[in-house]
Amino acid sequence: MCDGKADCTDGTDEPSTCGKKPLPQLKTGGKNCSLLNGGCEGSCSDTRWGVQCSCTSGWQLQPDGWSCGDVDECSLAYGPCSQLCHNTPGSYSCGCIQGHQLYNGTDCRVTDDDVKILIAADKELGILDRRTGIYEMLIPVTSRPSSVAYDLNRNMYFWVDKVLNVFILGKPNSVPLY
């Protein structure tokens, strides 16, 4: 057990707690969850090898194996909110820019009539005003875009061309991502 060798065929004698420093006796009062929650800040589970700590949603177990730290959901590559995100301890809240309303806790819908649609056209990106029907070229591009997206937080345009090159525009020149 906890010797680096799997004595059981399924490896259950080598749990994730192997090699971790035991919690000082003062903190836990023992090696089980019945005394001071086993020293765990979050949830505690008794195992054959001692306590196993875990954290609730919105928190993650820290390297010490006992404490829980906040997960910043807003800083994840694909955060939970479609527009604005505000991290709070153990959670987050979403918001919308002017002219939009939060409708399911994470996504935003247009509330006014002043809607503009971003369009990938032949060798350009453009905007169509839904109310007036007027199309205006926004950015000339050297490729033939087939789809386009806009990152509101970074004020950047992304598009995929007909040969599946991905481009980003943060400055006047387009730069291939890959």
pLDDT at 96 over 50: yes
117-161 tens-digit pLDDT:
888 888 888 888 888 889 988 888 877 888 888 877 677 788 887
Q: Which residue has the tokens 């001071």?
A: 36
pLDDT digits (tens, 9 = 90+) for 53-70: 999 999 999 999 999 999
Is residue 81 within 8 Å of residue 95, measured between CB atoms?
Answer: yes
In the DSSP assignment, the letter for residue 39 is G
Q: Residue 54 forms beta bridges with which residues?
A: 43
Question: Is the confidence at residue 10, as pLDDT, over 80?
Answer: no
Domains belonging to the chain, first-starting first, are 1-71 (2.10.25.10), 74-110 (2.10.25.10), 116-176 (no CATH)
What is the pLDDT at residue 16? 59
If pLDDT is split at 50, 70 and 90, which confidence band does 25 have?
Answer: very low
pLDDT for 171 beyond 90: no
**What is the pTM assigned to this prediction?**
0.57
Taking the C-alpha atoms of residue 59 and residue 37, their distance in angstroms, rounded to an integer, is 17
| Environment class of 82 (CB within 10 Å of its CB; exposed 0-12, middle 13-18, buried 19+) | middle
d(CA 170, CA 147): 17
Distance CA 57, CA 91 (A): 8
Q: Tell me what the pLDDT averaged over the chain comes to.
A: 79
Query: String of b and e for 1-14 (b: at least 16 CB within 10 Å)?
Result: eeeeeeeeeeeebb
Helix (H, G, I), strand (E, B) or coil at 43: strand
